[in-house]
Amino acid sequence: AVCWWVGGAALQVGPRAAAAEGDARRGVQRAVILVTSQKTLPVAVTVLGQLATAGVVPGAVGLATVAPVLAHLVQILIDSVLASRWLARDAERRAQAPSGSEGFAA
């Protein structure tokens, strides 16, 4: 949740930015939000590897890795649902927008 807020604030995701820049900027903003939410698995595996090297989690690294892998798969599903909703909402707004208009409000 914090990653989404930070990513959204840094990229100015919102009605004003979307209306001003159009579809291309919105697509890049959404891609960055989704990609930043996907970084959890490599970080978790790296931390677990370091803990195993330090002897904090001796021998149980494989088992400890199951939770981050499952969480990552759930995150992929959530991101897929979110992307589908964004696409459906964008298609609906395009259908309602007057012809010749560039971009649309979020």
Low-confidence ranges of the chain (pLDDT < 70): 1-22, 57, 99-106
Instruction: Say if residues 103 and 22 touch (Cβ distance below 8 Å).
Output: yes
pLDDT of 49 reads 86
pLDDT of 8 reads 52
Q: What are 43-69's pLDDT values in tens digits?
A: 888 888 888 888 776 777 788 888 899
Instruction: Say if residues 52 and 61 touch (Cβ distance below 8 Å).
Output: yes
pLDDT of 101 reads 53
pLDDT of 15 reads 54
Rg of the Cα trace of the chain?
19
Instruction: Say if residues 49 and 68 touch (Cβ distance below 8 Å).
Output: no
Question: What is the SS3 assignment for 70?
Answer: helix
pLDDT of 87 reads 86
- The model carries a pTM of 0.59
pLDDT of 70 reads 92
- CA 33 to the chain's CA centroid: 4
Alpha-carbon span 94 to 19, nearest angstrom: 13
